[in-house]
Amino acid sequence: MTNKEKYKQAFSALHTSDNFSLEVEKMERTNKQRKLKTMIAAVAACVMLVGCATAAYAADLGGIQRTIQLWIHGDQTAATIQFDGDGNYSLDYVDGDETMQHQGGGGVAFAPDGTEVPVSEEDLMKHLTAPDVRYENDGSVWIYWFDQKVDITDKFENDICYVKLENNEETLYMTVKYQNGYATSPNKYLSPSTFN
């Protein structure tokens, strides 16, 4: 005789009471209630987590803040930039004097149908990486573009200066009007009469 058969024979004389099935049902109900409460608590935690994330997103006005490397005055600089989705940006960085600097900007473009649309993030980044002309206190004039610093002080004739800039595969032809703006083109120098 096997152990299983011995156990069957030993316990065959025992009978369960009618109350036993009621206790099993009560335990099953209690377990279901616990599972339900646990599930409700988990759902509440998820709702709270999503609510907090939404509040943080709303507090940021929906903008996405990121850290980028940007050439500022010929030096590669870590900057924090935020686009608001309406064609504007906000930029913070620490300059060479260890001073926190803030700048912002933005604008609109015109759709083919003539309506105004916010400038895209891509266009704003093109603006931020465009050459920068600086008029210094000592009277010198400099162009900053990526890692280049070009002194153009003595290149002006009749308050107009033409400069060819190259950075890897990219070439820009730049026309500068003394203290009156500049224009660039990848193909040729633009006539000073076509801008400003």
* pLDDT tens column, 105-134: 888 888 899 888 888 888 888 888 889 899
For residues 24 and 153, the model is more confident at: 153
In this predicted structure, the answer to whether residue 52 has a pLDDT above a threshold of 70 is no
Q: How far apart are CA 145 and CA 72, in angstroms?
A: 8
In this predicted structure, the answer to whether residue 188 has a pLDDT above a threshold of 50 is yes
CB 93 within 8 A of CB 72: yes
Phi, psi of 44 (to 5 degrees): -60, -40
DSSP 194: G
Share of the chain above pLDDT 90, in %: 27
Q: Domain residues of the chain, as ranges?
A: 13-59, 62-122, 130-196
CB 184 within 8 A of CB 133: no
pTM above 0.95? Answer: no
pLDDT tens for 59-99 read 444 556 778 787 877 778 888 888 888 888 888 888 878 88
